[in-house]
Structure 1
């Protein structure tokens, strides 16, 4: 099992995983992701900016996530307060292939993200999710992120926001 930076040849596999997540969200009446987001353009942009990572098992892409360092526009305004005012990394668009769910792979993603942060002398990660996204909320809580408040994404909908310091 390895994590590596995605490239344009990985878009089809990444979208397959994203679309599985969208279907799951639709089945549980969760409108966090929909037909228009995330899409090919979103994934291509992430890849072009070297922030989209893939989790690979025996040459099969089984997970995807975005790890960004620097200020996230969405996180500038929060109803609440962040734990830190220093540099941070942000995790976005975390998704695992249906056949690999429940295998604690999100922990690998988190460990990798913290390692990358520490390489940059950054000691904080932030993440947000929809209130109804119970599986992501379980991961966040299990990973000892602290609840910080409510942020609003670009379409104006609220997300619960968390930060982990290390």
Structure 2
């Protein structure tokens, strides 16, 4: 799984977004915590009889403290899940889209955020029906904290 996140960091940097994850995010402790809390999800398929990891992401249940304050407005105040740390292995097209669609199918009300320089993720979220709700500020780092907040609620 480290390889997938490393690939994502390199891809973001090459596409004008070098600071969202920098060279160390997500930290190994975050990934281990995701696994222990059973919120790490893997998108897998089978090719030539071998299972492959196409993408990994975290689905976080409950209120995200980062989303308490928004410069804008969420679609609603209903319970939701948050998608964090989507990373594709590069083995298949549309892996991030498939992760998002899985979350929508299983949870219905999904929030996410991304860096203003992450044009690829903005496109993926918006092309999958997410509304741009405003800006949030990350609370777990001292700099580069602004993120664009998104939500889609399957009514």
Which of these residues, 16, 21, 32, is aligned with residue 8 of structure 2?
A: 21
Q: Could you tell me whether the CA contact under 8 Å between 2:4 and 2:55 is conserved in 1?
A: yes
- Rounded Cα–Cα distance in structure 2 between residues aligned with 1:47 and 1:29: 30
Q: Which has the higher helix share?
A: 1
User: 3-state DSSP class of the match of 1:159?
Assistant: strand
1:116 corresponds in structure 2 to 106
2:77 corresponds in structure 1 to 85
- Rounded Cα–Cα distance in structure 1 between residues aligned with 2:56 and 2:34: 11
Q: Structure 1 residue 38 and structure 2 residue 26: aligned?
A: yes
Q: Structure 1 residue 155 and structure 2 residue 141: aligned?
A: yes
The Cα RMSD (Å) is: 1.3
User: 3-state DSSP class of the match of 2:55?
Assistant: strand
Deviation at 1:159, TM superposition (A): 0.2
Q: Structure 1 residue 52 and structure 2 residue 40: aligned?
A: yes
Q: Could you tell me whether the CA contact under 8 Å between 1:127 and 1:162 is conserved in 2?
A: yes
Q: Could you tell me whether the CA contact under 8 Å between 1:15 and 1:39 is conserved in 2?
A: no
Gaps of 5+ in 1: 1-13, 118-122
